[in-house]
Amino acid sequence: MNGPSLATGQRSLGDPSITYPLWPPLTRGCPKTSTASLAYPVEVDYDYARVSASLFEQEPGPDLARWSPLLPPLHAPTLGEGGTPLIPLEGVYVKDESRNPTWSHKDRLNRITVSAALGAGAPGVVVASSGNHGASAAAYAARAGLPAIVLASADAPPAVHSFVRAYGAKVLAVPVEARWPLMREIVDRLGYHPVSNLTVTHTGHPFGPEGYKTIAYELFLQLGGVPAAVFAPTGYAELLYGVWKGFTELRRLGLAGTTPRMFSCEAIAGGPIARAVDTGAPAAIVPLQHTEAYSIGCSVGGHRGVRAVRDSGGEALLVTDDEMRAAQRTLAAQGLWQEVSGAAGLAAYRKLGRDFDGPVVCIATSSGFKGMGVGMESVEVLTNPTVDDVL
Amino acid sequence: MNGPSLATGQRSLGDPSITYPLWPPLTRGCPKTSTASLAYPVEVDYDYARVSASLFEQEPGPDLARWSPLLPPLHAPTLGEGGTPLIPLEGVYVKDESRNPTWSHKDRLNRITVSAALGAGAPGVVVASSGNHGASAAAYAARAGLPAIVLASADAPPAVHSFVRAYGAKVLAVPVEARWPLMREIVDRLGYHPVSNLTVTHTGHPFGPEGYKTIAYELFLQLGGVPAAVFAPTGYAELLYGVWKGFTELRRLGLAGTTPRMFSCEAIAGGPIARAVDTGAPAAIVPLQHTEAYSIGCSVGGHRGVRAVRDSGGEALLVTDDEMRAAQRTLAAQGLWQEVSGAAGLAAYRKLGRDFDGPVVCIATSSGFKGMGVGMESVEVLTNPTVDDVL
C-alpha cells in the first residue's frame, strides 16, 4: 500500500455536475440521468491535489495496492494482479494480460469490485459471465472469503466450464436471456453485490474500470511516456474506458503532456460501440451474430466506450473472426497464445493500416486456453515413428 | 541486460575437478564420469568475483535478462518470463509460476535452452514432453525464429494437445517408449538441439537449471532474505536443483548467510529421486504407475535432485494423487487454480507437518488449465432458473 484511497465520491457520466457519495457503489448507474431505454454510468472521483508524484516513481509490478491512492479502497486481498509484461512485436507493443492470476485482464477489475462488495458489507457477489469475468470474480471472492454465484454461459467452451467451476463458486449454466433477470433477483432478494451489469444499456460496476486504469500507469512507466495509440479488444468497453481514464489522470497530474488515441476493437458480429459512435448516440444496442470471439461478442453497449473513443480522438473499429484468427496466429507464431478475442486489438490495428507518430500498444487480453476449439482437435498417434515423419 | 554473461565453462557433477569449455553444451551429460547405466550432468560455472552486488538491488520483475551476468548468453528474445508473484496463503508463501508466458515455470528454462540452441548454431530444437515443456520450447523457438519438433505424449489432456500445437511447432504424438529413440535420431541426423533429456539417467540440458536459479533470486528480494525451506513439485528435479543453485550463489556472493532446506515433492506413482536418496545412489530408475500428476510422473531420475536434497539438508518427499488434489482444492479456494502436479509442493509440506524457523515457500508450477479432467465435466443447463436454484 502506498497510502489510503483518495477517492471522494461518484460522478455521473450523464451530467458531470451530478455527484454522489462514494458509498454505496451505484451498480445501476446514475439514477438522475438514466432513462428506461438508456443508462448512464457513474465514475469515481479523487482528490487529485493530494496525489504524490512519487507514486509514479515505482516499478510497474504486480498487486494493484501499489496504486492505492488512485483506487477505491482495497478491502479484498491481492492475487498478484497486474504488472504484466509489454512485448515488442511486429512494430507494436503487446501488453500481455494473459499473465494475470486467472489469465485475463479481468483480474484487475475484480480486485476492485470484490473490494467494493466487502466495503458495502454484501453477503456475497454475483456475476453473469461467459467465462473470464465469472472465473476471475469467483477467484477474488474465494480469496476474500465471500460466497460467489456465477451465471455462466451455457455454450462456453468445455475447458472454460472447468475454469469457472474451479474456484468453488456456485455456478449455474443458464440461457443468455435468463441471466440478467435472475441476476437482478439475486441482488434484490439475497443482497448479493453485482460485479457485472444490471442496466438496460451497459453501466457495469462503477468502480470496475478503476482497476483497468493501472494498465495506463504501467504503460507510462514501461514506455517511459505515453503511447500514440491504444487498441483494446472491446466488449462492454470497461477496459477501453479504464485505460483512457488512467491516461487522462496522468495528464491531469502534470506527469504526461499528451494522451493516446483510443481504438475500440469489437467483433463485427455485434459492435454496439461502433454503432453508437457512428450514429452519435450515447450508447446503442445491436443484434449479435455468432462469433468465435465470444468474450467480446456484445449486443448491449454502454456510454463508457463511446466516451473513450470520442474524447481521445480515436475510432470505433470492427473486425471479423477471420481477421482475429489471423492476428491470433501472428501472436502465437511469436510465442503468445491468445484466445481469438484477445487478438482483436492487433487485428484492428492491422486492418486500420495507419502510421502513428509514436508507440502503438495492442492489449492482448486472455490466454489461448479459453478458446472455442480448445481440446477438440483429433490427435493421431504414430505407433512406429521415424525421423521421416518429421521431415 | 545488466551486462554480459560471466559464464566461464561447464563442470561435471560427477567429479567437480573435471571442467569443459562453455560451448558446445554437453547435452549428453559428463562424458568422463558417466557410464552405460548412470549419467552425470554438467553445470555452468561463472566468474563470481566479477558479479556486482548491485545486481541484487533491482526489482524482481519479468525478463531473465535482468540476471544476465549469472546466466549463459541470452541469444533468444524474451517473452517476459519470470517476475512471478509470491502469494502468502495458509502460513506459507506460494510462488505462482502459472504467471509465466506459457503459464508454467518451464519458460524460465526454455529462454535459456533455446538461447543455447541459437548459440550452438543449431537448425532447430527438439523436445520430448508431456505438455508444458513442449509448449514452452515451441513458444521460445517460435519467438526466436527457430523450427521446433515436439514429441508429445499421446495421452495428454485434450486442451494440452491444443496448447502444444498452438505455437506452430511440428508436433508428433508418439508412444512414450518411442520418444527418446526418435529424439536421439533427430539430434543425430538433423542436428537439432535437444532441450530435454537424452541420457540413461536424467541429465537434461546443462544450461536449463540456470533459468530456474532466477526463482531463488526473486524469492530473496521478495522475502527480503532466504526462506527456511522450499517445496518444489519434482519430476526430473531441474527446478529443484536450479532453485538450490541460486541460493548457493547468493551465499557464495556474500549476500545471504544461509541457504534453505530443499524438499523434492514427487508423485508416489514414481519417485526416482526419493529412491536414490533413500538408497544412497547417485540416481535411480523406478517403475511408474498411473498418476493424474502427469507433469511430474517420472520413471527415470537424475543426480541433480539428489544433490539439491542432500546438500541442502532437505528430504525427498512423496505424495499421493489424493494429497495433491486436496492441496489443489486448497489453492483454488484461495483463488489459485493449479494443475494437480502444480500443487505437489503444498501437498508435501502439509504431509510433512513440520514447523520451520523461517518462511516456507511452496512453488506452484502450472495453470489448472493443463489438468487431466479439464473440459470433461458435463454441464447441466437450467432452462427456467430461479433464485431457488441458487439456494
**pLDDT tens-digit map of B309-350:** 999 999 999 999 999 999 999 999 999 999 999 999 999 999
Specify if A167 maps to a domain.
Answer: yes
Which residues of chain B does A379 touch, with a Cβ-Cβ cutoff of 8 Å? Answer: 154, 161, 173
Per-residue pLDDT at A77: 98
In a domain, B6, yes or no: yes
Q: Is residue A131 part of a domain?
A: yes
Residue B346: φ, ψ to 5°: -65, -40
Burial A335-360 (b: 16+ CB within 10 A, else e): bbbbbbbbbbbbbbbbbbeeeeeebb
- Cα distance between residue B118 and residue A383, in whole Å: 31
Q: Are residues A233 and A357 in the same domain?
A: yes
Q: Which residue among B78, B170, B369 sits closest to A163, beta carbon to beta carbon?
A: B369
B245/B329 same-domain check: yes
Give the helix/strand (H/E) hosting A42: strand A42-46
Grid coordinates representing A237? 468497453
Answer yes or no: are the C-beta atoms of B96 and A101 closer than 8 Å.
yes
A346 lies in some domain = yes
Q: Which amino acid is at A307?
A: R
Q: Domain check: are A160 and A83 in the same one?
A: no
Shared domain check, A119 and A92: no
Distance from CA of A202 to the nearest CA of B (A): 23
A161: three-class secondary structure by DSSP: helix
B221 contact residues in A (CB cutoff 8 A): none
Does the beta-carbon distance from B335 to A382 stay under 8 Å? no
d(CA B100, CA A223): 21
Q: How far apart are CA B22 and CA B10, in angstroms?
A: 5
Question: Which of B161, B194, B227 represents a domain boundary (last residue)?
Answer: B194
Residue A372 C-alpha, separation from nearest chain B C-alpha, in angstroms: 11
H-run or E-run covering A43: strand A42-46
For chain A, percent of residues with pLDDT exceeding 90: 91
Place of cell 459471465: A129
**A163-174 burial code (b ≥16 CB/10 A, e <16):** bbbbbbbbbbbb
Tell me the shortest Cα–Cα distance from B169 to chain A, in angstroms.
Answer: 9
Looking at chain B, the whole-number percentage of residues with pLDDT higher than 90 is: 91
Residues in chain B closer than 8 A to A329 (CB atoms): 168
User: Residue A223 domain-assigned?
Assistant: yes
Structural domain boundaries enclosing A348: 1-104+201-371
Partners of A150 in beta bridges: A127, A171
For A62-86, write each residue's pLDDT tens digit.
999 999 999 999 999 999 999 999 9
Helix boundaries (H) for B268-315: 272-279, 303-312
Find where cell 557433477 sits: B13
| Residues B94 and B227 both lie in one domain | yes
Is-contact B77 B144, C-beta < 8 A?
yes
Q: How many A×B Cβ pairs under 8 Å?
A: 225
Full pLDDT tens readout for chain A, 391 residues? 689 999 999 999 999 999 999 999 999 999 999 999 999 999 999 999 999 989 999 999 999 999 999 999 999 999 999 999 999 999 999 999 999 999 999 999 999 999 999 999 999 999 999 899 999 999 999 999 999 999 998 889 999 999 999 999 999 999 888 888 999 999 999 999 999 999 999 999 999 999 999 999 999 999 999 999 999 999 999 999 999 999 999 999 999 999 999 999 999 999 999 999 999 999 999 999 999 999 999 999 999 999 999 999 999 999 999 999 999 999 999 999 999 999 999 999 999 999 999 999 999 999 999 999 999 888 888 888 888 888 7
- The answer to whether residues A284 and A266 touch, using CB atoms and an 8 Å cutoff, is no
Q: Is B378 inside any structural domain?
A: no
Give domain status of residue B74, yes or no. yes
pLDDT at B17 over 70: yes
B146 band by pLDDT with thresholds 50, 70 and 90 = very high
B124 in a structural domain: yes
Does residue B66 share a domain with residue B44?
yes
CA angle B101, B105, B107 (to 5 degrees): 45
Instruction: Provide the terminal-to-terminal Cα distance of chain A, rounded to the nearest Å.
Output: 56
Q: How many domains does chain A have?
A: 2
b (16+ CB within 10 A) / e for B55-66: bbeeebbbbbbb
Q: Which of residues 300-359 of B touch A (CB under 8 A)?
A: 329, 332-337
Whole-angstrom Cα distance, residue A16 to residue B79? Answer: 42
Q: Which three cell numbers stand for residue A264?
A: 475500440
Is residue B391 over pLDDT 90?
Answer: no
Confidence category of residue B388, pLDDT binned at 50, 70, 90: confident
**Burial bucket for residue B48 (CB in 10 Å: 0-12, 13-18, 19+):** middle
Q: Round the average pLDDT of chain A to a whole number and report it.
A: 96
**Residue A1 has what pLDDT?**
65
Return the pLDDT at B384.
86
Q: Per DSSP, what are the bridge partners of residue A262?
A: A230
Nearest chain A Cα distance for residue B248, angstroms: 26
DSSP strands (E only) in B41-134: 42-46, 86-89, 92-96, 125-129
Contact A322, A267 (CB under 8 A): no
Residues A23 and A86 in one domain: yes
One-letter amino acid identity for B281? A
B184 touches chain A (CB under 8 A): no
Partner A, chain B 111-140, Cβ-Cβ below 8 Å: 139-140
The continuous run of DSSP H or E covering B223 comes out as helix B208-223
Neighbours of A48 (CB within 10 A): 14
Q: Are residue B89 and residue B129 in the same domain, yes or no?
A: no
pLDDT tens across B367-384, in order?
Answer: 999 999 999 888 888 888
**Of the residues B194, B226, B257, the one at which a domain ends:** B194
pLDDT band at residue B7 under the 50/70/90 scheme: very high
- Contact state of A61 with B63 under an 8 Å Cβ cutoff: no
Residue B1: pLDDT over 70: no
ipTM tops 0.95 = yes
Which of B142, B165, B371 comes nearest A334 by C-beta?
A: B142
β-pairing, A229-233 with B360-364? unpaired
In this complex, which of A59, A102, A389 lies closest to B61 when CB atoms are compared? A59
- DSSP label of A97: G
Q: How would you class A24 by CB atoms within 10 Å of its CB: exposed for 0-12, middle for 13-18, buried for 19 or more?
A: middle
SS3 A300: strand
In this model, does residue B66 exceed pLDDT 90? yes
- B61 vs A84: CA distance, rounded Å: 9
Helix (H) or strand (E) holding A321: helix A321-332
- Check CB contact of A191 with chain B, cutoff 8 Å: no
Residues 148-177 of A with CB under 8 A from B: 149, 151, 154, 157-159, 161-163, 165-168, 170, 172-175
- Determine, for residues B103 and A98 on separate chains, whether the beta-carbon distance falls below 8 Å: yes
Phi, psi of A174 (to 5 degrees): -130, 155
- Pick the last residue of a domain from B166, B194, B222: B194
- How far is residue A216's CA from residue A242's CA, in Å, rounded to a whole number? 8
Type of residue numbered A221: L
CA distance A189 to A124: 12
Statement to judge: residues A31 and A71 lie in one domain: yes
CA-nearest of A162, A252, A216 to A361 is A216
B225 and B350 assigned to the same domain: yes
For residues A126 and A275, state if they share a domain: no
Chain A residues whose beta carbon lies within 8 Å of the beta carbon of residue B166: 332, 337, 368
Q: What are the chain B neighbours of A103 within 8 Å (beta carbons)?
A: 98, 103, 367, 369
Asked if A85 lies within 8 A of B62 by C-beta distance, the reply is yes
A48: domain CATH number is 3.40.50.1100
What average pLDDT is seen over chain B?
Answer: 96
pLDDT tens readout for residues A157-215: 999 999 999 999 999 999 888 888 999 999 999 999 999 999 999 999 999 999 999 99
- Give the 3-state secondary structure of residue B344: helix
Q: Do B173 and A337 touch (CB under 8 A)?
A: no
Per-residue pLDDT of B106-143, as tens digits, reads: 999 999 999 999 999 999 999 999 899 999 999 999 99
Query: How far does chain B reach from its first CA to its final CA, in angstroms?
Result: 56
Using the Cβ of B222 and the Cβ atoms of chain A, whether some distance falls under 8 Å is answered with no
- Report residue A220 as a C-alpha cell: 507510462
Based on the fold, state whether residues A96 and A188 are members of the same structural domain.
no
Q: Mind listing the pLDDT tens digit for each residue in B263-309?
A: 999 999 999 999 999 999 999 999 999 999 999 999 999 999 999 99
